[in-house]
Structures are given as C-alpha cells and as structure tokens.
Structure 1
Amino acid sequence: MNLDRKRVPVKASNRRQGPYPYYGASGVVDFVDSYLFEGLHLLVAEDGENLRSRRTPVSFLADGQFWVNNHAHVLQANNANDTKFLCYALEAADISGYITGSAQPKLSQASLSAIEVPAPPLRTQQAIAATLGALDDKIESNRRVMATGESLIRTIVESTLGASEGEAGTLSDYCTLVKSPVKVEAIDPAANYIGLEHMPKGSIFLSEWDRAKGLGSNKTAFKRGDLLFGKLRPYFKKVGIAPIDGVCSTDILAVRPNDPRDIALIAVVAASDALIDSLSAGSTGTRMPRASWKDLAAWRVPVLSATERIELSARVDPLVESLTQLTFESHRLAALRDALLPELLSGRLRVPVGTP
C-alpha cells in the first residue's frame, strides 16, 4: 500500500524543532514539532546517487510518530504480507533496471510498484523477518550502549580539560596529520576501506567499512587508533576512531596521536560542537566546503600534565576498548545478516515457522 500522497516536504528554514523524526531518502535528516505518520512503515529512497551506489540502505523501517519529505516513498504491507519482510526483500532486490536519470537517479512510484520480490506465505515472511530482525535488534542494542558509553567518555574528557592546570596549547600538541597517500593501482583489493558514507554523523565510534576492491582513485592509508576526520562539509560531524587498518577517502583527514593513550581526548575535542562550528564557518568552498588540517591543528586545547594524562587514560581507555569491541560485534552481525538474507529469500535456507 503506497502512502506517498500523505508526504509533505518542508524547507529547512521553515522547520520547527521538535521530538519527531523527519525522514528523507537515506533516513532521519532532522527533527520537527509535528508528525504525519504513526506506526510501522517502510520507507524507500525515491532519488539520489545512493540508489545506484547502494552505499547505505535504500529501504528502511520507520516506527512511532514521524514526518517524511518527498524524497522517500512511504509503504505499508497489506494483510497478506509483512512490512518488515518487504523491507528486507527490497533491500536484497536488484533495482538497477528500475532507476531512471543519470545526473539525478530516481525511482518513481510506478517503477517501485513494478519491482518483483519473493512472496512466501505470511507466516514464512514473519519468520524470516524475525530471524533477520533479531540480528538488527542486537546491532541497535549495541548502538545504544555505545552512545551511552560515548557520552560518558565525552563528559570525562571535557571535565578533565576544564579542570586542567596545564599550559595553553593546540590540538597539534597531541597529534599529527598522516601523510600516507596510496596510488589506486597499489591498493590491495582486500584492504579495508572507509569513505564518508561509512562514517556516522556525530559519533566517534565507527562500525562500518568495506573492502577496497573496485576503488577508482587514490586514497590515504591509516592505522587502527588513528582519528578520521571528514573534511568535506565538516558540519556533518563525521569524526571517528579507526577500529581497523585500511585506506580512506581523500575527503577524510587521517590524524595520528603522538601518544595512543590520547586518542579519546583527540576524538572528543575534534568532534566538539565548538570546533566543528568554527571549522564550518572558516572552511573553503561554497557548495562543497572543506576544512583544513591547518585549522584543525590550531584549535586551542590545554596541554595536560603527565599526571592528568595518566589519570584520564586510566578512566577512558577501558571504555574505548570495550566500545571498540562492540563495534566489531556489530560489524560481524551485519555481515551475518547480509549473508543470510539472500539464502532465506530464495528458500535455500529455511527457518522454523510457528503454528497459527
């Protein structure tokens, strides 16, 4: 059942902030003071480059009370189908033949309706959705734990810096820019790759990455424990601690701690609203503003005394390590879900179906 007729786009300048998620083609883009939809719905991207690249999901669920603009189709399953199952089925489908437009890819309502997906009996759909949903639920639980842990890390670091009696300094007293360019022909296809699309907004912990196979341009090599800072449109707040070695987009600054124990401090400072706002205001480029290492390095930060650094490290290092391990668990769970998805949809793998 298509509910696109109920969508209402609202310009950013006309939105009033509130508690209700405002969805676009790739998920929540804002929060507003009212809602259009209530209950579980399936949202499918209507336009955007991601329809072709599939870097992020093109179909996703929205529940509760929320608003949707005109960049996402709004669907609900009929009585013979399960909305969660349809979300997984669409995400697994090859939609390339249904997309029109080159400069701005688009999936029209008519094209969306024409996409063929498996349609097993309702109870089978529900069993498949429950199996895959259990993995997604654990990933979401990890995300919430990580958000709480990250909030605690930020509080500890900020209180330590605020109470420090150390000398005035800058972020460059704690870290240096990584200058390790890698020519595209020298990139190992099996290497880990992190692009801006893999970095969540506003979180210093990264749980998504891909393989470098098929990359078409030069990259920057980084190591586990480096800080990755998205310099393109810095106001998106894409700043995170690398949990693995790999290569990253050249739109990302790789920053290496002078002392690995300082990574939490560096990450919290680099991701702070004050620094991001300052870099966004001073970034170059009108349509695609970019921050520079020069400005990031010059950000003023107290230089902690040796005692202060040891005490801070003792408090936050175990938290960073624990949350990093949750990152790996979520990554493994996502890989398992993605491997199970085509097998379950095709019927090659079956799950037990309960009796009515």
Structure 2
Amino acid sequence: MARLGEVVAFTNGRARPSAGPPPAPHSASAGTAYPMYGANGVIGTAGGFNAERDSTIVGRVGSYCGIVHFARERCWVTDNAIIATAREGVNPRYVYYLLKGLGLNHHRIGSGQPLLTHAILNGLAVRDVPREGQDAVAEILGALDDKIAANEGIAAAADDLVRARYTELAASAPGSVRLDGLGRPVTVNVPAADIGPGENYIGLEHIAKRHMWLSGWADASAVLSVKKRFRAGDVLFAKLRPYFHKVGLAFVDGVASTDVHVVRPVDGRHRGWLLAALSSDEVVAHASALSDGTRMPRVKWADLARREVPWPGEPRAREFGAFADALAERVEAAASESAALAALRDALLPGLLTGRIEATP
C-alpha cells in the first residue's frame, strides 16, 4: 500500500479570471482560448492555463465536492477545484481512474459547505501498482471512455449540421410561421403519486446548454413533486432562465420538471423544424427578453407561441424534418451505446483498482 500523496501531487486552482488574459502562470497567445474548469467540469473558457494536459480536476468545495474530471488539454482550473498531477513515473490517466474510484465525496469534511483538503487527499491509502499495471488499467478503461467521447462528437457534429442547415434555409425562407403553428405545449401536470418508479425523469440538470439532443436522464423513483409527462419526439424547452439555452429533443418517454415547457409537434413531419427553431439563438434571445422575474426569470409559453420564425415552405420543411430525424436516430443509437459503455466502465473500475480483476499489460 501507499499514500495517495506519493502517487499524485495536488495544487489548488486559482480564482476565475476576469475579462482579458488571466494573471499567470501561463498567458495565452492572441486568440487562444482554454477550457475553464470549476468544481463540476467545464464552465467556460479562459485566455490562459494553469493545468497541463492530462490533468485530473477534483471538485474542492460545495455540492460538487469530490467530483472528478479528466482534462485532455491544457486548461484553467478555478479555486473551486483542485488540480491532481501524476508524479514522475505514474500514468496520468490511471490517476484519473484511481481518484474516480476512491469515492472522494465520502472523505469531505463540513456539512453546510463541504470541503476537500490536501491533507485529506494526501493521506488516503491506495494500492501500490507498478507502472505496467497502471498502463493496463488506463488502456482498458480509457478505450471505453474514448468511444464514449467519439459518440459525443457524433452528437455535436449532428447538432452543428442541423443548425447550419436551418440557418441556410431560414435565410432564404419565403415566409414565416408562429411557433404555436409548429408545436403545442403539454399542460397537464402529473402528481408524484402517479409517477411510476421505473419512469425516466429529465430535469434542468439533464439538459445540456446549446445541445439539442437529450441523451441523459434519471430514474423517477426519487421524484416527490408534480411533473409534466412527455413522449419520445417531444421538444423540451427550459422556461427557467432561458438564457442558459437548454432546449432538446427527447429520445424516451418520461416526466419532466415543471420548469420545462414540453412542446409536442403539431405535425411529426415538422418536428425537425420545430426543434431547430426553438433551439435557435434568435428564439432563445426572444425568450430571455420576455422572461419574468429578476432572480429566477421564466418565460411563458404564450409569449413563445406568438413568435414568428422563418418558414421555408412545406416541401423543404418536410425534407428538413427527414434530415433531422435521420441524424437524431444516429445520435440516439450513439447515446444508447455510450450508456452501455459507461455502465461497463463503472462495473470494471472497482475490480481493476483493487486487483480483483487482473489487468493484463
């Protein structure tokens, strides 16, 4: 056995940089932007970096304390997180899986404001694994994560294709249509008592910013309040803080947060156009401008419904719908595969780290 501090070096991130290049340690060349990590992953970009490639980022404070992310690129890490760097002779990606498998959130201190300290991390006991064993573990689990990352790339590319084609057709559209001519809201609420434990649940936390495919959800067994029921093929539009641009197509049936507008296509052949229009920068900006409230602004469906969006004509709208449906089908398959790969990775992780499953170099 060894102490974690013998395998990994820990340093705190630094305060989120303001506009312009951050103070050091590394400034960027003109036009360079680096991913910026907070306690729960990427939160933006920065003009410089304070962590090298293949660093592991650990949530240091707050509700995401102990959450672990792997940074393939140089990045800026804020003071809400800790930078974990492999010591000499240690496989950097093995460090990520090692920390992921330690359940660091169970070692945090404090209740009101949970915290992880260097002293806690440095003192944790870990197996002393030779480099060839580290490489084998990193190769096995890394192959699964690499495929998941490739599937995420498919989804991102499909998102870009739909947006680009929509922008092209919208620019030459001969007319316009109101959003309520394309989709209608699902307004019936479902009491928690009527929600089955095996149902899927999508909350705001499951809708990625500016990403039109809803490939993540949770089990509804923990749901304790009224929700809205949705079907596969519905478009979910976050009405709370719409400027976060959370709009996506549901791949499964389930229930959604009441902070979401569930919009059902009037004509399934226009689903793609409805999705692209609701997810467009113009409609999201319109929703943001019309939202009510200061701290927790919300947009009403009535205000969205009256919004006119470009209409390319029936033949092109149907053609676009078929194009978007084909891409959605490919993304759904990739997301399903990723879920299976992630489950396999998480099942293998404890056994590989403890040696119960032998990782052959």
**Aligned-partner residue type, residue 256 of structure 1:** R
Tell me the residue number matched to 2:113. Answer: 104
CA displacement at 1:116 relative to structure 2: 4.2
Query: Which one is further off, 64-73 or 297-306?
Result: 297-306
Q: Distance in 2 between matches of 1:351 and 1:338?
A: 15
CA displacement at 1:136 relative to structure 2: 0.8
CA displacement at 1:192 relative to structure 2: 1.4
CA-based RMSD: 2.4
Q: Is structure 2 residue 53 aligned with structure 1 residue 34?
A: no
Q: Distance in 2 between matches of 1:80 and 1:335?
A: 30
Tell me the residue number matched to 2:283. Answer: 275
**Any gaps of 5 or more consecutive residues in structure 1?**
52-56
Q: Distance in 1 between matches of 2:334 and 2:250?
A: 13
CA displacement at 1:303 relative to structure 2: 4.1
From the superposition, tell whether residues 188 and 347 of structure 1 become closer, same or farther in structure 2 (CA, over 3 Å). Answer: farther
Q: 2:63 aligns with which of 46, 49, 62?
A: 49
Q: Is structure 2 residue 17 aligned with structure 1 residue 8?
A: no
Q: Distance in 1 between matches of 2:128 and 2:258?
A: 43
From the superposition, tell whether residues 153 and 159 of structure 1 become closer, same or farther in structure 2 (CA, over 3 Å). Answer: same
From the superposition, tell whether residues 352 and 214 of structure 1 become closer, same or farther in structure 2 (CA, over 3 Å). Answer: same
Q: 1:336 aligns with which of 344, 351, 356?
A: 344
Q: Is structure 2 residue 199 aligned with structure 1 residue 191?
A: yes
Q: Distance in 1 between matches of 2:125 and 2:240?
A: 38
Tell me the residue number matched to 1:257. Answer: 265
Q: Distance in 2 between matches of 1:275 and 1:48?
A: 34
**Aligned-partner residue type, residue 67 of structure 2:** V
Tell me the residue number matched to 1:156. Answer: 165
Tell me the residue number matched to 1:323. Answer: 331
Q: 1:139 aligns with which of 133, 148, 152?
A: 148
Q: Distance in 2 between matches of 1:92 and 1:9?
A: 28
Q: 2:136 aligns with which of 123, 127, 136?
A: 127
CA displacement at 1:78 relative to structure 2: 1.9
CA displacement at 1:14 relative to structure 2: 5.7
Query: Which one is further off, 202-211 or 301-310?
Result: 301-310
Tell me the residue number matched to 1:54. Answer: none
- Equivalent residue of 2:221, what SS? coil
From the superposition, tell whether residues 223 and 136 of structure 1 become closer, same or farther in structure 2 (CA, over 3 Å). Answer: same
Q: Distance in 1 between matches of 2:204 and 2:126?
A: 31
From the superposition, tell whether residues 217 and 111 of structure 1 become closer, same or farther in structure 2 (CA, over 3 Å). Answer: farther
- TM-score norm. by structure 2 comes to 0.87
Tell me the residue number matched to 1:284. Answer: 292
Q: Distance in 1 between matches of 2:232 and 2:128?
A: 44
| Preserved contact between residue 311 and residue 317 of structure 2 (Cα < 8 Å) | no
- TM-score norm. by structure 1 comes to 0.88
| Deviations 1:94-113 (CA, angstroms, capped at 9, x unpaired) | 33442234443332333333
- Equivalent residue of 2:62, what SS? coil
Q: Distance in 2 between matches of 1:65 and 1:137?
A: 18
CA displacement at 1:336 relative to structure 2: 1.9
From the superposition, tell whether residues 186 and 86 of structure 1 become closer, same or farther in structure 2 (CA, over 3 Å). Answer: farther
| Deviations 1:67-88 (CA, angstroms, capped at 9, x unpaired) | 1110110011223543322322
| Preserved contact between residue 206 and residue 240 of structure 1 (Cα < 8 Å) | yes
**Aligned-partner residue type, residue 9 of structure 1:** A
| Preserved contact between residue 207 and residue 330 of structure 1 (Cα < 8 Å) | no
CA displacement at 1:211 relative to structure 2: 1.5
- Equivalent residue of 1:50, what SS? coil
- Equivalent residue of 2:145, what SS? helix
Query: Which one is further off, 318-327 or 114-123?
Result: 114-123
CA displacement at 1:118 relative to structure 2: 4.4
| Deviations 1:29-62 (CA, angstroms, capped at 9, x unpaired) | 11122222222211000123234xxxxx810111
**Aligned-partner residue type, residue 192 of structure 2:** V
Q: Distance in 2 between matches of 1:100 and 1:287?
A: 30
Tell me the residue number matched to 2:79. Answer: 70
- Equivalent residue of 1:142, what SS? helix
Percent identity of paired positions between Structure 1 and Structure 2: 36
From the superposition, tell whether residues 352 and 68 of structure 1 become closer, same or farther in structure 2 (CA, over 3 Å). Answer: same
Tell me the residue number matched to 1:213. Answer: 221
Aligned residues: 346
- Equivalent residue of 1:38, what SS? coil
Q: Distance in 2 between matches of 1:105 and 1:278?
A: 38
Q: Distance in 1 between matches of 2:132 and 2:120?
A: 27
From the superposition, tell whether residues 34 and 80 of structure 1 become closer, same or farther in structure 2 (CA, over 3 Å). Answer: closer
From the superposition, tell whether residues 226 and 64 of structure 1 become closer, same or farther in structure 2 (CA, over 3 Å). Answer: same
From the superposition, tell whether residues 180 and 13 of structure 1 become closer, same or farther in structure 2 (CA, over 3 Å). Answer: farther
Q: Distance in 1 between matches of 2:46 and 2:314?
A: 46
CA displacement at 1:227 relative to structure 2: 0.8
